[in-house]
């Protein structure tokens, strides 16, 4: 039996398949963190894998030419990078009476941040419900476009040194051994990924707020996230920013070069629409083309094709191993970036830019939470217009739709407390008691249930009074 030939001189390692498609998902997820960290756009000079997948960011380039090169769903930068697209919970305004069945991405982030561990207060052990009070800035209104301060450089900068160092060292070693195919391909990977990261990351992250008139009523209201209630206190503009505002990515003019696209009307000969062409030039729409992003994405695709052709021509035991070493180091870095909780980072940035004060509570009973929410949302003062727009009965009915005699009596007593609270606080406890009239027209079991519900209401009353005093002291300090 002849000996086995182990000579590998004619063997060519298929590195391009790994380089072009391996690690694409991690590379895309890592790229979505680029606007969250300061100086992140300068840290992309390494030979990254997944060029084919990352190159599909070219769908941002919006023109007839680029739409042909990169077909597919063309979304805006904010949605493509995960700063938009999530649907928030229902919002009910306590003053204006308006409601939104679905809010936007910022409200979604707020509700997610309110799912953190809460503070336990008095209450029973029936169905639990969490109440979070969010106090917005009392004085300044939210600007239409406010810059978001990204996270300062830290650990991600130090970790980025690994793939960049490995890529440059392997490139130099390939040149030192005269393996120019692998040397040039590693260098092309460094340049293409670096330019792409620099262009993609050149956008400034901002927050688009909502303007409101000075005569607009306060924007106090509730976000209802399942069984949880998030109370928003503040001006109409500040609360409107949470419910309808959005993150925005503003690119420099050299990136989002504008184009004018003619809107041509389709016509069939003889249909009487031949004059449509005469309107060209007057019926044009201006939009952002993002041609620089398209060019960088095209460069990534060219890099992939070049690697498929030239890397197999390199030496096996050094050049191709060096190439794969740079790819492996870059994949580790992309995996590190993809493991970051981007939503959590967005929550931190949102709370910081809006300077929100959050206080979570966890009443043991739903009745306690509902009364607490109504008392926190009631107008402070004797403004007739605000009291007229305040609908506590609708809020209670929406959250507790029970219509038995016990619940009807309980609602009447709670609504009485809300209406009398500003005029005579000492009399409120008397309203939250079972009286002789209630005992005369109710059964014994119903009386016992009503007493327990009124205990919950008194607990909520005490908690709301203490919380409003705390918020008043905070506001006084900021004034």
Mind spelling out the 3-state secondary structure of the chain?
A: CCCCCCCCCCCCCCHHHHHHHCCHHHHHHHHCCCCCECCHHHCCCCCCCCHHHHHHHHHHCCCHHHHHHCCCCCCCHHHHCCCCCCCECEEEECCCCCEECCECHHHHHHHHHCCCCCCECCCCCCCCCCEEEEECCCCCCCCCEEECCCECCCHHHHHHHHHHHHHHHHHHHHHHCCCHHHHHHHHHHHHHHHHHHHHHCCCEEEEECCCCCCCCCCCCEEEEECCEEEEEECCHHHHHHHHHCEEEEECCCCCCCEEEEECCCCCCCCCCCHHHHHHCCCCEEEEECCHHHHHHHHHHHHHHHHHHHHHHHCCHHHHHHHHHHHHHHHHHHHHHHHCCCHHHHHHHHHHHHHCCEEEEEECCCHHHHHHHHHHHHCCCCCCHHHHHHCCHHHHHHHHCCCCCHHHHHHHHHHHHHHHHCCCCHHHHHHHCCCCHHHHHHCCHHHHHHHHHHHHHHHHHHHHHHHHHHHHHHHHHHHC
Residue 296 maps to a domain: yes
Residue 162 pLDDT greater than 70, yes or no: yes
Residue 11 pLDDT greater than 90, yes or no: no
Q: Which tens digits make up the pLDDT trace of 50-83?
A: 877 887 788 888 778 888 888 877 788 888 888 9
Q: What is the percentage of the chain residues whose pLDDT exceeds 90?
A: 13
What pLDDT does 211 receive?
A: 75
Poorest-confidence range of 209-213, 328-332, 432-436, 453-457? 209-213
Whether residues 334 and 444 fall in one domain: no
What pLDDT does 428 receive?
A: 65
As for how many domains the chain has, the answer is 2
Q: Which tens digits make up the pLDDT trace of 45-57?
A: 999 888 778 877 8
Whether residues 375 and 340 fall in one domain: no
Rounded mean pLDDT of the chain? 77
pTM as predicted = 0.78
Whether residues 316 and 464 fall in one domain: no
Among 345, 360, 387, the domain boundary falls at 345
Whether residues 326 and 428 fall in one domain: no
Residue 154 maps to a domain: yes
Whether residues 376 and 440 fall in one domain: yes
Domain residues for the domain of 400 are 371-479
Residue 107 maps to a domain: no
Whether residues 186 and 326 fall in one domain: yes
Residue 89 maps to a domain: no
Whether residues 292 and 395 fall in one domain: no
Whether residues 432 and 333 fall in one domain: no
What pLDDT does 319 receive?
A: 81
Whether residues 409 and 466 fall in one domain: yes
Whether residues 304 and 379 fall in one domain: no
Whether residues 291 and 417 fall in one domain: no
Residue 269 maps to a domain: no
The average pLDDT across 293-304 equals 88
Whether residues 467 and 413 fall in one domain: yes
What pLDDT does 96 receive?
A: 63
Q: Which tens digits make up the pLDDT trace of 195-242?
A: 999 999 999 888 888 776 666 667 788 898 877 889 888 888 888 889
Residue 424 maps to a domain: yes
Residue 294 maps to a domain: yes
Residue 101 maps to a domain: no
């Amino acid at each position: 039996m002849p000996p086995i030939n182990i000579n590998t001189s004619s063997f060519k390692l298929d590195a391009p398949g790994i380089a072009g498609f391996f690690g694409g998902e991690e590379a895309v997820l890592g790229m979505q963190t680029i606007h969250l960290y300061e100086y992140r756009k300068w840290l992309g000079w390494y030979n990254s894998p997944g060029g084919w997948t990352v190159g599909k960011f070219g769908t941002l380039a919006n023109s007839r030419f680029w739409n042909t090169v990169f077909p597919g769903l063309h979304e805006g930068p904010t949605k493509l990078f995960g700063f938009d697209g999530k649907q928030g919970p229902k919002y009910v305004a306590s003053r204006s009476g308006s409601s939104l069945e679905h809010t936007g991405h910022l409200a979604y982030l707020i509700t997610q941040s309110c799912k953190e561990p809460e503070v336990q207060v008095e209450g029973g052990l029936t169905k639990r419900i969490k109440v979070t009070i969010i106090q917005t800035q009392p004085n300044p209104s939210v600007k239409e476009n406010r810059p978001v301060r990204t996270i300062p450089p830290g650990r991600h900068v130090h970790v980025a040194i690994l793939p960049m160092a490995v890529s440059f060292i392997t490139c130099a070693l390939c040149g030192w051994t005269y393996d120019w195919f692998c040397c040039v391909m590693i260098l092309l990977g460094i340049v293409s990924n670096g330019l792409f990261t620099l262009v993609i990351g050149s956008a400034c992250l901002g927050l688009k707020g909502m303007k409101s008139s000075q005569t607009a009523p306060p924007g106090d209201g509730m976000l209802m996230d399942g069984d949880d209630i998030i109370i928003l206190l503040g001006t109409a503009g500040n609360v409107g920013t949470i419910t309808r505002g959005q993150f925005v990515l503003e690119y420099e003019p050299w990136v989002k070069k504008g184009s004018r696209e003619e809107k041509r009307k389709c016509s069939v000969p003889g249909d009487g629409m031949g004059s449509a062409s005469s309107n060209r030039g007057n019926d044009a729409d201006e939009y952002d083309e993002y041609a620089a992003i398209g060019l960088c994405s095209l460069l990534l695709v060219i890099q992939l094709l070049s690697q498929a052709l030239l890397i197999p021509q390199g030496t096996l035991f050094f050049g191709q191993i060096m190439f794969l070493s740079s790819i492996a180091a870059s994949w580790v870095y992309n995996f590190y970036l993809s493991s970051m909780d981007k939503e959590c980072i967005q929550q931190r940035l949102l709370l910081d830019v809006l300077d929100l004060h959050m206080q979570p509570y966890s009443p043991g009973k739903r009745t306690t939470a509902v009364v607490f929410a109504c008392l926190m949302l009631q107008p402070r003062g004797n403004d007739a217009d605000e009291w007229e727009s305040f609908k506590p009965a609708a809020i209670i009915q929406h959250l507790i739709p029970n219509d038995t005699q016990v619940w009807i009596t309980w609602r009447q007593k709670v609504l009485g407390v809300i209406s009398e609270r500003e005029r005579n606080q000492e009399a409120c406890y008397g309203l939250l008691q079972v009286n002789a009239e209630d005992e005369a027209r109710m059964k014994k079991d119903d009386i016992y249930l009503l007493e327990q519900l009124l205990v919950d209401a008194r607990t909520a009353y005490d908690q709301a009074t203490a919380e409003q005093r705390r918020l008043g002291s905070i506001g006084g300090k900021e004034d």
